[in-house]
Structure 1
Amino acid sequence: MKKLWLIIALFATTLLVACQSTSKIKIEIINLQAQRTSMSFDLEVTDPDEELTPNLITVVIYYDGKEITRKSPSLSNGEYSVTFDGLSIGYTYTVNVYASYDGKNHKMASSKGTTTTLGGSETEPKLIQTIDDFKNIKNDLTAYYKLMNDLDFENANFQNALGSSAFNGKFDGNGKTIKNLKMEALTTYTGLFGYNKGTIKNLVIENVTLNLKSSSQYIGILSGRNAGIVENVTLKDSSFTTVFSRTGEIFLGGLVGYSEPSSQIKDTKVENLTMSVTTSGRTEPYVGLLVGRAKASKISNVESSGTLTVNSSDTSYIGGLIGSLDNDYQVKSKLENAKSTVDITVDVTVAITLITENKVDAPASVYVGGLLGSNRNSDIYYAYANADILIKNLSNNAVIQSDDDQLAVGGLIGSSNNVVTEGLATGSITLGEVGKEVVTAFEDIYLAGLIGYQAPDRISKSVSLNFDINVIGTTLDTLRVSNVIGNNVTANAAYFGGTLQINDVSYEGQIVYNFANDTIVTLDNLELDGEALESYFESDFVNAILDQILVN
């Protein structure tokens, strides 16, 4: 009997050994990093017999003994990695790794990690001390950040690491500087922050070279697109160059390409920016030293300075500060306490028009202003522009054309249809070059010291000061030129000093010059004397600028 039990025991032992796995598979959890709302780590997999694939590995995350979610790892270049998003802040989680082989599911590894509270509030921000820290913002787009040191990119190529994802956090630049950037790589939203839906404040950006030769729609050195808040940001001593063709609208701003409804920009400036934009085909650019286009936005206490050169081939909106300030249905944009000092050169040659049934669908329109190219259904309070504007070429060479292509150029605004209160403009407009016919096949031309074309009368308490307009070598059918407003509207606006010259002949006030029959109609504008000028404005913002001009 004892022999029988011994035989049975030996048989059972042999069977157990035979059933046990002889696999050499091992898995370890390494490089575990817990962020505020995510956890990521790598798996070190030892699999000499190549028994595993990613779908045979399952990673499960638990909180307080309850499963939260599970997934298989990603495999790239032989490396296994796992990321769990959507976790709670300040929670300790358990991670288990399971693998299926030999017909069974085996628990291979376990680890714990606690999500951080760092970056969850303004008093406990994530600290940015290195360039790598800055690039890692992409790993947590909703956190609070604070820049602790100047960051020098040493002219290395910079690519927006956020891609098409938006920054929804809070970034406090802490008065520090990010400098020496090169932006040459094409991304969905070109800019330091790409698409901003959060808050960016207290930051200086210096010596950036942006040079793009590939098509993109949203381009700005800070952000290509802004739906958040930009506050107390300075961009200085930088250059912005684009050369490409893209059918439709593009938004090019020195700081922000497109500022969308409900966004804000305040206490912000652009200093000494050289901006050059070249487009071709059916590309319609919105171009400004601060913002390309702002829609239903609030913008206050802003300024810009630099040079702006635009070579385009279609409808264009060009402003020393903002290309176009627009409404969004019933919501207006509002611009307050704004100024720009700029040299603008424009060359437009239309070669292709959109044609339906042998008719041009829309005329070509070019709007140029020292402050704004266009103001559409938005309100402007207390603004100044010192602009020297040169229209170097304006032609339409398309086979089939509209009969009402338009150019509107103003020292302050090119074209406006809404409120402008207490605006001041100095500088000059030059249309043409000696010995060259500059304008061909553009029918409606408006040049003015304040606003090229204003409809209806919504301007008040505004002045062009010592503003010079010079038309050279141009023989248009009709040209409308004014010290104040180009078209014939009644306005609470005036001028002080300045000159109007057409082909070396001087005029005053507002004139409509018909070259076809050499007739001139002169309209009266209000000319101020020195005493009236000094007491004309009420706002402290404009009066401070005027006092400085008069002293100099």
Structure 2
Amino acid sequence: MKKITGLLSIIFAFIFTIVLASCSSTSGVEVEKNVTATTSSITFELTFARNENLENKTASPYIKAFNYDETKEDNIGTYVSKQDCTFSGVYTSSTVTFTSLTKGAKYVFRFYVTYNQSDELIATWVESTLSDNKKEIKTVDDFLAMKDDRDGEYTLMNDIDFSGEKLTGLFNSSSQSFTGVFNGNGYTISNFLFESSDNGIFGYTKDALIKNVKIVGTDEEYLLNNLDEEGNPLELVNGNFGSRSDANIGTLVGNAENTEFVDVTIDNVNLSLKGNNKATLKVGGVVGLALNCSFTNVKATNISITSEKLCTNVYVGLFAGAINGDALETDNGTYTAKNTSASGEIKATLSYGSYEGNAYIGGYAGDLGSSGLVSESYTDADITLYRDPKTSNSNKFSLVVGGFAAGNLGGSMWVDGCVAAADIKVVAGSDSTTLEDAALSKLCTKTSYFGGFVGVINKHINRIENSCYVKKSAGLNVYALESETDEESNVKTLIVKNNVYANKQYDAILTNLVCANDDAFDTSVLASEVSAVVAKYLA
């Protein structure tokens, strides 16, 4: 009996060993990690050794996150969340991000692989979110690395010279908006170039703050180091955007939402672009589109916006393509813009196929439809527009131009203590070819408006107070024929022009709004810097 019992024990032990060996068989998954933490997220960049089980999808890796509990031996606290590892192409890499984490908190992450209908624990990691997101920027690489931490707080520690290096894909979609703080610390960012698909230095921003920074498109030293074969400085176009579909383009930000701008200067920037026949473009020297934003002490000088072909729906201004929405509440107050300015030129050829469209061109903004106050601001603008001779009268097109703003298409307009110093020239013909006289009606089959201060005052509640238009030299000139003469019938039927505003379609409060060249204007209602602009052209 004892022999039988001993034999059974040996058999049972052998069977148990076989079962245990079967249960301990592994997936063979090996992984290395690189971790990036912010104040609210932790990202694992996982690199896997080539593995047959991964490639055959018989092994499925995932990560579980737990709160860190120092009172427990394994430190595993309450469950937080689970993230599966997703792959593209060969099964050798995966990026997993845990979001909505607590600032400055420690977490336990357990890496599992589901294999043979069981969960195999591969590794345990302890990681922490940042207690703050403050980072210093000293190099071009530091600057470009901001895209990896969109909600960081950045401080520029010295001037950054891109020396012609391109700003590729920095915050270039709404889902990748910059949501942090950028403090230029008084330093300068210079000599940058955009890729044709970019929208601005900061492509998209949301709930962000940008302050204390100087932006210079091209400086003399950079030009001297970039000469052609004959030793002449090369022409630098900071943004040669080619032919674009729908886009918002600005030197600093293409598409800004709920963003505050404080103490920013932009100088010597050349933006060149073409539209296509179905495009909607909003282009500005500072921002393309500003929605619910605030600007304080923001100045743009020597801005050049040029286009060989502007099509369909375009909004162009030396400061902004369009400013819409409400005033943003900030520590400086609740308003849209205060003590801001833009100077430079807008030069474009309007070219249309068979599509219906509109162009809104303003010295300060193409569309100034914001319910927030714009005050103590001015533009010093030269606007020159030509008609592509190929454009026929089959087009349904309207052109609206204003020295300060074309109009308020996106909402109310509230302006107080502002000045448009502008020369505006619109010619029916081309600047490069001599043509027989072609009536402007071949471009504008819909009524078009041209005003020294504003083109069209649209519906909504509008207030324009204590502001004026002052001509720089030639003033406002619209030529219905290429020979730079007016044809009476064309001017009457197609164009409404006035030294201050072209057309007031709806009730608006217009107080002390005049053409300073023709009427006495009380400059005491203006800030000193804005008043100096008026005095310059009245001297």
Taking structure 1 as the reference length, what is the TM-score of the superposition?
0.75
| Alpha-carbon shift at residue 437 of structure 1 (Å) | 6.0
| Alpha-carbon shift at residue 2 of structure 1 (Å) | 6.3
SS of corresponding position for 1:74: coil
* Pairing of 1:143-162 with structure 2 (within 5 A): 143-162=152-171
Q: Structure 1 290/48 Cα, relative in aligned 2: closer, same or farther at 3 Å? A: closer
Higher RCO (C-alpha 8 Å, min separation 6): 2
Separation (CA, whole Å) in 2 of partners of 1:352 and 1:70: 62
| Alpha-carbon shift at residue 438 of structure 1 (Å) | 7.0
Separation (CA, whole Å) in 2 of partners of 1:80 and 1:286: 42
| Alpha-carbon shift at residue 304 of structure 1 (Å) | 0.9
Match 1:230 to one of 245, 257, 261: 261
- Whether 1:220 and 2:270 are equivalent positions in the alignment is no
| Alpha-carbon shift at residue 345 of structure 1 (Å) | 0.5
In structure 1, runs of 5+ residues without a counterpart are 120-124, 355-362, 467-494, 496-526
| Alpha-carbon shift at residue 435 of structure 1 (Å) | 3.8
* Pairing of 1:67-78 with structure 2 (within 5 A): 67-76=79-88, 77=90, 78=92
Separation (CA, whole Å) in 2 of partners of 1:380 and 1:321: 12
Tell me the equivalent position of 1:291: 320
- Which deviates the most, 129-138 or 303-312? 129-138
Tell me the equivalent position of 1:307: 345
| Alpha-carbon shift at residue 75 of structure 1 (Å) | 2.3
1:269-302 deviation line (CA, Å, top 9, x unaligned):
1111111134455x12111011111124512211
| Alpha-carbon shift at residue 179 of structure 1 (Å) | 2.2
| Alpha-carbon shift at residue 112 of structure 1 (Å) | 0.2
* AA aligned opposite 2:503: Y
Match 2:192 to one of 181, 197, 219: 181
| Alpha-carbon shift at residue 339 of structure 1 (Å) | 1.2
* Pairing of 1:84-123 with structure 2 (within 5 A): 84-119=98-133
Q: Structure 1 194/438 Cα, relative in aligned 2: closer, same or farther at 3 Å? A: farther
- Whether 1:340 and 2:352 are equivalent positions in the alignment is no
SS of corresponding position for 1:133: helix
2:427 touches 2:482 (CA, 8 Å); kept in 1? no
| Alpha-carbon shift at residue 158 of structure 1 (Å) | 1.9
1:339-390 deviation line (CA, Å, top 9, x unaligned):
1112111124664768xxxxxxxx7432222222225642221122322222
| Alpha-carbon shift at residue 414 of structure 1 (Å) | 2.7
Match 1:251 to one of 282, 302, 311: 282
- Whether 1:25 and 2:28 are equivalent positions in the alignment is yes
- Whether 1:415 and 2:456 are equivalent positions in the alignment is yes
2:170 touches 2:201 (CA, 8 Å); kept in 1? no
SS of corresponding position for 1:15: helix
Match 1:459 to one of 496, 507, 510: 510
Taking structure 2 as the reference length, what is the TM-score of the superposition?
0.76
Q: Higher strand proportion, which one?
A: 1
* AA aligned opposite 2:78: K
Tell me the equivalent position of 2:214: 204
Tell me the equivalent position of 1:378: 413
Tell me the equivalent position of 1:277: 307
SS of corresponding position for 1:36: coil
- Which deviates the most, 43-52 or 215-224? 43-52
Q: Structure 1 264/26 Cα, relative in aligned 2: closer, same or farther at 3 Å? A: same
In structure 2, runs of 5+ residues without a counterpart are 70-76, 219-237, 328-335, 429-438
* AA aligned opposite 2:269: S
Separation (CA, whole Å) in 2 of partners of 1:426 and 1:437: 20
| Alpha-carbon shift at residue 308 of structure 1 (Å) | 0.5
Separation (CA, whole Å) in 2 of partners of 1:259 and 1:409: 23
2:178 touches 2:202 (CA, 8 Å); kept in 1? no
SS of corresponding position for 1:168: coil
Q: Structure 1 103/548 Cα, relative in aligned 2: closer, same or farther at 3 Å? A: closer
| Alpha-carbon shift at residue 146 of structure 1 (Å) | 2.2
Separation (CA, whole Å) in 2 of partners of 1:51 and 1:249: 46
Tell me the equivalent position of 1:430: 477
* AA aligned opposite 1:380: V
1:376-434 deviation line (CA, Å, top 9, x unaligned):
64222112232222212272338xx95x6223231x33334643323231322233377
